[in-house]
Amino acid sequence: MRIDVRHNPSFAVARIALDPGEELRAESGAMMATSAGVDVKASTQGGVMKGLKRSLLGGESLFITTFTAPAAGGWVDVADHLPGDIVVTSVSADKPLSITKGCWLASGAGVGLDTKWGGFKNLFGGEGGFLVLASGDGPVVLACYGAIDTIQLAAGESVTIDTGHVVAFDPNTTSAIRKVSGGMMQTLKSGEGLVFDFTGPGWVMTQTRNPSALETWIRSLMPGETSGASGVLGGLLNR
C-alpha cells in the first residue's frame, strides 16, 4: 500500500495505491474516486453492536467501506467532508493510536478500530469523551479541519489543548481531560469548554480549526435561532 497526499494543506486528497487483492478500509462517504475494477463493499466491521458503539460514541460512521483491488492492482482517492489537511501515520502491535471524534479517514486491513473512554463528556460541545483506538499493524490516514500541527513533548513537559483541536496523540503521553475552570459563565464568556492536559514524552497532533465551533456557528444562523450571543447559547444547549 502506497499513499500519496495532494492538494494539501487546504483541500487535501489521499490516493492509496493497492497491490492485487489488497484491501483498504475507509470512513463511509470518504471515497472520491477509484480506478477501474476496484470492489467496494460496506459493512459494520465487527457486527452491528460494534458499529453502533463506534458511531454513537466515537463519532465515526456506522458503516465502514472496504475497497479491494483487482488482479491488476488499483487505487482509491479519499477526502474528508471538511476542508483541511490529511496526514499519514501508522500503528504497530506495541504502538496503538488514540484518535479524536471524526478524524479517522482510512486505514489498512490490518488496522482494527475500537472505542475507548477518554474522559468526562462535554455537555456543551460534544467534544472529548470517547476516542477511537486504532491498533494492529498498518497505515492510518487522518483528516482534520484546517491545517495539522504536531507538538513534540519532552519527558515531563506538559501542554493544554482545547479538545476540539486535538486530532490524535501518542499513547506514550499521559493525558487527562477536564473542564476549563470558572464554571458555566466562564465557559460562555471564553468560548472554551473542555481541555486536554498532555504530559510527555510523546507527541500530540492538532488541527487549526474546531469542527464543533463551526457547527455551533452554523446553528446560530439557522432559521428560528436568535442571532448573536443568544443564538450561540441556543446552539450549545440544543446539541
Query: Hey, which residues does 99 pair with through a beta bridge?
Result: 132, 168
Higher-scoring residue by pLDDT: 117, 94: 94
Q: In this prediction, what percent of the chain has a pLDDT beyond 70?
A: 74
Q: Which domain covers residue 27, as residue numbers?
A: 2-147
Closest CA to 88 of 76, 73, 100, 104: 104
Q: Is residue 10 part of a domain?
A: yes
Higher-scoring residue by pLDDT: 43, 121: 43
pLDDT band at 232 (very low <50, low <70, confident <90, very high): very low
Q: Is residue 214 part of a domain?
A: no
Cell of 169: 496523540
Q: Which pLDDT score, from 0 to 100, does residue 156 have?
A: 96
Q: Is residue 216 part of a domain?
A: no
What mean pLDDT comes out for the span 73-97?
A: 95
Closest CA to 14 of 28, 2, 25, 22: 2
User: How far apart are the C-alpha atoms of 175 and 172, rounded to whole Å?
Assistant: 9
Which of 21-35, 121-135, 189-203, 214-228 is most confident?
21-35
Instruction: Return the minimum-mean-pLDDT range out of 16-20, 30-34, 52-56, 73-77.
Output: 52-56
CA distances from 232 to 129, 146, 161, 183, 205 (A): 22, 22, 22, 17, 28
CATH number of the domain at 14, please. Answer: 3.60.160.10
CB 182 within 8 A of CB 111: no
Cell of 190: 471564553
Which residue do the cell numbers 492510518 mark?
Answer: 140
Q: Which pLDDT score, from 0 to 100, does residue 213 have?
A: 85
Tally the residues of the chain: 239
Round the average pLDDT of the chain to a whole number and report it: 81
Which of 83-87, 130-134, 217-221 is most confident?
83-87
What mean pLDDT comes out for the span 185-196?
A: 56
User: Which secondary structure element, helix H or strand E, spans residue 233, and what is its range?
Assistant: helix 228-237
Instruction: Return the minimum-mean-pLDDT range out of 48-57, 128-137, 190-199.
Output: 48-57
Number of compact structural domains in the chain: 1
pLDDT band at 132 (very low <50, low <70, confident <90, very high): confident
Q: Is residue 83 part of a domain?
A: yes
Please state whether beta strands 31-34 and 174-179 pair in parallel, antiparallel, or not at all (unpaired): unpaired
Q: Which residues contact 222 (CB under 8 A, 6 or more apart)?
A: none
pLDDT band at 183 (very low <50, low <70, confident <90, very high): low
DSSP state of 71: T
User: How far apart are the C-alpha atoms of 125 and 209, rounded to whole Å?
Assistant: 14
Q: Is residue 201 part of a domain?
A: no
Q: Which pLDDT score, from 0 to 100, does residue 80 have?
A: 94
Please state whether beta strands 111-121 and 148-153 pair in parallel, antiparallel, or not at all (unpaired): unpaired
User: Which secondary structure element, helix H or strand E, spans residue 211, and what is its range?
Assistant: helix 211-221
Q: Is residue 152 part of a domain?
A: no
Q: Is residue 228 part of a domain?
A: no
What mean pLDDT comes out for the span 168-179?
A: 87
Q: Is residue 47 part of a domain?
A: yes
